[in-house]
């Protein structure tokens, strides 16, 4: 019996219960996934309760991905440099922290566009945004040795902070990125711009986008962001944020249970 859950505030809009129930039932495993809406002052006592109740593990969402770190006993190597935890496994009385966002994104890319993934060392990639999600994706992609991996952000110094250690990475302003968009084969939108309820907003203009570029948006509400719609109208191939959501969940599920989930949801199709 697997006892799983999510800690955050708020948590009621989360799709995670649905996703993990799907994993449990498709593997014919018994288990449950509960939502824990926790005030910051109660975070530590809530974690102790979860240990006492012998939970298998839990996900962590806004606003605790960083705040939980001092309360975690052990972090895996990538999570240490990311300083952000989205998955915790309970091992006896020990909390072990992981971040599955980057791995989830790269797996969604591999599943959605296998040929592109195979040739990553020849591809030029642009990440839009330099926040927590961008960081996870950046570090995981960096390990795959793409030809070029640039980051454009509203505050360029935040992007510089990430790219400064790598010769194949440069930091750009959003305006500069807009002007040289046709340099890139994959564009990954990681900011909250375009998310419900402000769905008409777009992070950059796509006038310079070249045909056949893969454009992905990690927003999944709405599924079809304006950014993706415009990219598709301009001849791009697209990758939905929902796909990353499922693969980061699959990785967390594997950490908790040891089971690799092979049957997820359609990736490229619309609703
Ligand atoms: P997350 O952990 O979800 O990535 P975050 O760390 O708050 O969230 O990062 C949000 C990202 O969205 C940042 O890259 C932020 O740009 P800044 O670093 O310049 O703040 C970007 N972002 C948010 N709102 C934006 C807006 N209106 N225009 C441009 N970028 C925006």
> Which ipTM was obtained for this model?
0.96
Best CATH choice for the domain 102-240 from the list 3.40.50.720, 3.90.190.20, 3.40.50.800, 3.40.50.510: 3.40.50.720
Q: Are 186 and 214 in contact (CB under 8 A)?
A: yes
Domain ranges of the chain: 2-98, 102-240
Q: What is the pLDDT of residues 233-269, one digit of tens each?
A: 999 999 999 999 999 999 999 999 999 987 675 444 4
Q: Ligand 1: does its nearest atom lie under 6 Å from the Cβ of 202?
A: no
Pick from 56, 49, 87, 90: which is nearest to 73 by CA?
Answer: 90
Q: What is the pLDDT of residues 79-134, one digit of tens each?
A: 888 889 999 999 999 999 999 999 999 999 999 999 999 999 999 999 999 998 89
pLDDT surpassing 90 at residue 208: yes
- High-pLDDT (> 90) share of the chain, %: 89
Mutate-to-test residue for ligand 1 from 66, 129, 159, 226, highest number of ligand atoms within 8 A of CB: 129
Fold match, 2-98 / 102-240: yes
Q: Exactly one of 65, 89, 135, 251 is catalytic; which is it?
A: 65
Whole-angstrom distance, CA of residue 38 vs CA of residue 4? 16
* HSE (side-chain half, CA atoms, 13 Å) at 96: 12
> Three-state DSSP class for 174?
helix
229 is known as an active-site residue: no
Whole-angstrom distance, CA of residue 231 vs CA of residue 252? 31
Whole-angstrom distance, CA of residue 235 vs CA of residue 54? 50
pLDDT score, position 269 = 43
pLDDT score, position 266 = 43
How much distance in Å is there from the Cα of 120 to the middle of ligand 1? Answer: 26
Q: What is the CATH number of domain 2-98?
A: 3.40.50.10860
What average pLDDT does this structure show over 170-174?
Answer: 98
Q: Ligand 1: does its nearest atom lie under 6 Å from the Cβ of 16?
A: no
- How many Å separate Cα 53 from the centre of its chain? 29
Query: Which residue blocks in the chain are alpha helix, DSSP H?
Result: 16-26, 43-52, 77-82, 101-112, 114-118, 132-143, 156-163, 174-179, 226-233, 241-257
Q: Are 254 and 261 in contact (CB under 8 A)?
A: yes
């Amino acid at each position: 019996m697997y006892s799983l859950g999510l800690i955050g505030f708020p948590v009621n809009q989360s799709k995670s219960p649905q996703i993990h129930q799907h994993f449990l039932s498709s593997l014919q495993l018994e288990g449950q996934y509960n939502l824990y809406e926790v005030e910051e002052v109660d975070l530590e006592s809530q974690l102790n309760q979860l240990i006492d109740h012998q939970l298998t593990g839990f996900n962590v969402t806004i606003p605790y991905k960083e705040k939980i770190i001092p309360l975690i006993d052990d972090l895996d190597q990538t999570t240490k440099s990311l300083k952000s935890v989205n998955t915790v496994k309970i091992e006896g009385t020990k909390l072990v922290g992981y971040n599955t966002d980057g791995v989830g994104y790269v797996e969604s890319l591999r599943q959605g566009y296998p040929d592109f993934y195979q040739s990553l060392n020849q591809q030029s990639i642009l990440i839009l945004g330099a926040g927590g999600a961008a960081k996870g994706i950046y570090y995981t992609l960096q390990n795959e040795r793409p030809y070029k991996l640039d980051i454009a952000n509203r505050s360029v110094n935040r992007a510089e902070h990430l790219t400064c250690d790598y010769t194949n990475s440069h930091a750009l302003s959003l305006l500069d990125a807009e002007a040289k968009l046709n340099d890139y084969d994959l564009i990954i939108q990681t900011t909250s711009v375009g998310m419900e309820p402000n769905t008409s907003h777009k992070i950059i203009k796509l006038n310079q986008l070249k045909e056949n570029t893969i454009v992905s948006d990690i927003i999944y509400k709405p599924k079809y962001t304006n950014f993706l719609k415009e990219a598709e109208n301009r001849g791009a191939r697209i990758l939905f944020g929902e796909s990353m959501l499922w693969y980061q969940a699959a990785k967390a599920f594997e950490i908790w249970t040891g089971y690799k989930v092979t049957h997820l949801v359609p990736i490229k199709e619309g609703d």
